[in-house]
Amino acid sequence: MSTPTLAYGLDSRPPRLVIFGSAVQHIGLGSIILVFPVLVADAAGVSEQTTQHMVVLSCFTLGIATLLQCLRLGPVGSGFLIPAVFTAAYLPASLAAAQMGGLGAVFGMTIFAGLVEIVLSRFCDRFRAFFPPELAGFVVLYIGLVLGLLGFRLAVGATADGHPETHTDAAVHAGALITLLVTAGLNVWGKGRVRMFCALIGLAAGYVVFRLTAPLEPQAYYHLGQVPQRVFFWQIEWPLAMPSFEPTLALGFVVGAVAAMLRASGDIITSQKMNDPAWTQPEPTSIHRGVLADGIGTVVAGIVGTLGVNTYSGSVGLANATGVAARVVGVATGVLWIVLTFLPNTSVVIVAIPKPILGAALFFVSTFIVANGLQIIAQRPLDNRKIIVIGTSLFLGLSRDVFDEIWLHAPAIAQAFTQSSLVIAVLSALVLTALFRIGVSRRLVATIEHGPDATRAATQFLGTVAQSWSTRHDVVYRATSAISAALRHVTRDMRPGDRMQLIATFDDIDLKLKLRYHGTPLRADGLSELGGLCDRCRHRTSATFSEVILRFRH
């Protein structure tokens, strides 16, 4: 699969029109997720006015969380164009908290979930074996499927159970069809700014057709169900409720935090790949910073008075589709969210896009999210363990939506894990990944004689390692270069026919090579050269042998 060439990369400075238009596209695409706070407020039984206030505060929260993610403030922020939205990972637990303890319980548990993700951000690399890149790619893939199906359902006017809505009319969805056709057409055949603004142009074209064909008043199709009244930011009585902690709900929010961490990791890896044509493996620093920003954003959400936030795969897909991935667009998106908070017509502006139109745009960008997830998964060789993890988790997650009656009859203790197909998919992937770590470490040994064929024998051995363990070609190439240099240094004082032992071990995370020999220790110049060829290098000696140990991150 080929990634579209970026017109504006991460550090570029697009024209102001491009920045503003792209920011508007990201906000329009993310506005559908504002339905989550409305659903939770409804479950808590609060007044319509409180719900309106919560929507305004939600816009403010999204602005702050987006800035935290897109900027680099000390150790916080990935620095990529990844706006924040509310996430389905927290929705089931938030609905349960709203019913049990009202908005106070929602806000308190959201703060708790954010703290959990902050803690997890410090251990991403240490527990990398349990959170491999293909797992993050799977989460991106699954979220793309979920968003695509949601977009399709909104575009055709179906309810959550698949039945048509009461006001559905065939002419109404002409707007959704026009949105999809115009957006896709401009993205494929358009050039320059036309391609960059394909989603915005598609939304506008679809909205015009929608207004001409809709048999009902437009507000019947708004994704919040009604047109809100004007609410001024300074009229909001804050806090909406005092945060409270409910221990019985902690497990559901911990699961949500893990899912949010994996989604953020997947979105950041996708952004790394999109901005680096030579990308081969995840860069951990930006992942740490991004997950930390995601957790802090969720803590801010709980304090301000709304739901937990997460990076938005839809925006990553939009950046990929339009070729505009400049960080400054993310900053503009965050600032624009905050500006909208202080406008009296904020709620009206946010919900002005009808459900069928927004669903078509969401369906379009989901195709790029699915492609990004597949690319991350396929970047690493898949053995039987990984295939089982991905396939089983995918089917279990989809079964929640296809055979929901079966999952609804799950034992009460399991209900916290079965309310969301995303949670089911992520949990099953985590459990299977941990289970299949048993016996994952593999070991091969070769004996090499010092002589003109020593390097060739080592290269052949590493070729066998690559074929047996599905090791990445770039890792094998680096290992071959390093072991050739090591042989050159350690054989300086050897006699022809002296034997060495080359031991290779692989645990899906690190390829470790040990060159064991009888001879003088490796000198400083040799150690320095090897250190530049591998991720970690050390030398040790004993009374019976010397050993060069090389590690390569897979």
Residue spans of beta strands (DSSP E) within 392-532: 442-449, 499-506, 510-517
Same domain, 467 and 353: no
Q: Give the domain CATH number at 482.
A: 3.30.565.10
Q: Is position 5 within any domain?
A: no
Same domain, 37 and 133: yes
Q: Is position 532 within any domain?
A: yes
Last residue of a domain, one of 339, 355, 380: 380
Q: Quick one: pLDDT at residue 213?
A: 74
Least confident of 121-135, 374-388, 497-511, 540-554: 121-135
Check: pTM over 0.85? Answer yes or no: no
Same domain, 87 and 230: yes
Same domain, 239 and 123: yes
Q: Is position 54 within any domain?
A: yes
Last residue of a domain, one of 337, 352, 380: 380
Same domain, 365 and 504: no
Distance (Å) of CA 72 to CA 19, 56, 285, 288: 19, 26, 12, 12
Same domain, 466 and 533: yes
More confident residue, 51 or 97: 97
Question: Where does the pLDDT of residue 227 fall: very low under 50, low under 70, confident under 90, or very high at 90 and above?
Answer: very low
Distance (Å) of CA 29 to CA 93, 124, 244, 487: 24, 29, 32, 57
Number of structural domains (the chain) is 3
The 10s digit of each residue's pLDDT in 97-144 is 998 889 999 999 999 999 999 999 988 766 777 778 788 788 878 878
Q: Is position 181 within any domain?
A: no
Same domain, 299 and 365: yes
What letter represents residue 384's amino acid?
A: N
Q: Is the pLDDT of residue 342 over 90?
A: no
Rounded CA-CA distance 456/100 in Å is: 69
Q: Is position 192 within any domain?
A: no
Same domain, 361 and 454: no
Q: Is position 402 within any domain?
A: yes
Q: Quick one: pLDDT at residue 512?
A: 92
Q: Quick one: pLDDT at residue 225?
A: 47
Same domain, 362 and 476: no
Q: Is position 112 within any domain?
A: yes
More confident residue, 12 or 544: 12
Same domain, 241 and 361: yes
Distance (Å) of CA 37 to CA 57, 218, 305, 441: 10, 22, 10, 46
Same domain, 362 and 398: no
Element (H, E) at 298: helix 284-304
Q: Quick one: pLDDT at residue 119?
A: 94
Q: Is position 489 within any domain?
A: yes
- Note down the domain range covering 508: 442-553
The fraction of the chain above a pLDDT of 90, given in percent, is 24
Average pLDDT score over the chain: 83
Mean pLDDT of 65-85: 93
Same domain, 392 and 277: no
Element (H, E) at 386: helix 384-402
